[in-house]
Structure 1
């Protein structure tokens, strides 16, 4: 369940830091009852960004498959081996 805290609680920086590191999800900050910011630990941020990159590459790959933009694996490996004398 997402954690939601008011912006005035940000003055407790060490407590907020502990919450960020203890949670696997972002913490939502509200201002005057409305969403204002989102914070999370660097570790979770990097993991989320990595997965976002993976998903975007998968989507691009699926689009290429749907358009028929595929290569023959054996021919590609043979070409690479010839090019680099492997």
Structure 2
């Protein structure tokens, strides 16, 4: 379940930092009862950015498949081995 805190609780930075590191989800901050910000630990941020990169690469690969832009695996390996004398 997501954690939601009011912006006035942001004064206690040590407690907020501990909450961010203890949670596997972002923490939502409200202002006047409405969503205002989302905070998370650096580790979680890096993981989310990594997965976003993976998903964007998967989408690009799927688009290449639908356009027929694919190479034969055996032929590709053979050309790489010939090029680098492996």
Q: TM-score, normalised by structure 1?
A: 0.94
- Following superposition, the deviation at residue 80 of structure 1 comes to 0.9
Equivalents in 1 of 2:44, 2:2: separation in Å?
Answer: 14
Give the aligned CA root-mean-square deviation in angstroms: 0.8
Equivalents in 1 of 2:46, 2:64: separation in Å?
Answer: 27
Q: TM-score, normalised by structure 2?
A: 0.94
| Aligned position for 1:26 | 26
Q: Deviations over 1:26-58 (max 9, x none)?
A: 001111111111100111111111111111111
| Aligned position for 1:63 | 63
Equivalents in 2 of 1:40, 1:84: separation in Å?
Answer: 45
Q: Which runs of 5+ in 1 are unaligned?
A: none
Q: Give the ranges of 4+ consecutive aligned residues of structure 1 lying more than 2 Å apart after TM superposition.
A: none
Equivalents in 1 of 2:15, 2:28: separation in Å?
Answer: 15
| Aligned position for 1:49 | 49
Q: Match of 1:56, SS?
A: helix
